[in-house]
Amino acid sequence: MATVRYLVKDVDAALPFYEALGFSITERWGPPFVMLARGDLTLWLSGPGTSASRPLPDGSIPGPGGWNRLVIEVEELQTAMSALRKTGAHFRSEPVQGPGGPTSARRGPIGKSHRALRGER
């Protein structure tokens, strides 16, 4: 099982986006932290107030964003894109054909970039 932690600005605002992708809540530790699961993937969403958001010794402050991406395979790409649009997701382009099948890059309502929502290969 893999576990990924994402820093988010607002855990409650992030939940509909990941629920639209088939994640379900497995644990909730107050407003700033939730553990989600989808298959054998556990996703931690850490918001302000968690240890992950504390300033580092060099003064830098961890925050959401960046170009690292979570790749999530879906049954049907267009159906998934429609569900995600309802959560406020913005796609950088319409799907393109890649070597692994149709893909689309998007930025979720929480500022995270997700790459390669893949449909059937």
Alpha-carbon distances of 91 from 4, 35, 95, 108, 117, rounded to whole Å: 22, 25, 9, 8, 11
The pLDDT value recorded for residue 10 is 93
- In angstroms, what CA-CA distances link 114 with 17, 36, 37, 56, 70? 11, 16, 17, 26, 5
In order of their start, the domains of the chain are 2-49+64-114 (3.10.180.10)
Amino acid in the structure at residue 29? W
pLDDT of residue 111: 54
**What integer pLDDT is reported at residue 63 of this predicted model?**
79
Task: Give the type of residue at 36.
Answer: L
* pLDDT at residue 66, as a whole number: 65
pLDDT tens for each residue of the chain, 121 residues long = 788 888 888 999 999 999 999 999 999 998 999 999 999 999 999 888 888 888 878 888 887 776 556 677 788 888 888 998 898 887 776 776 664 567 665 555 555 555 445 555 4
User: For position 56, what pLDDT does the model report?
Assistant: 78
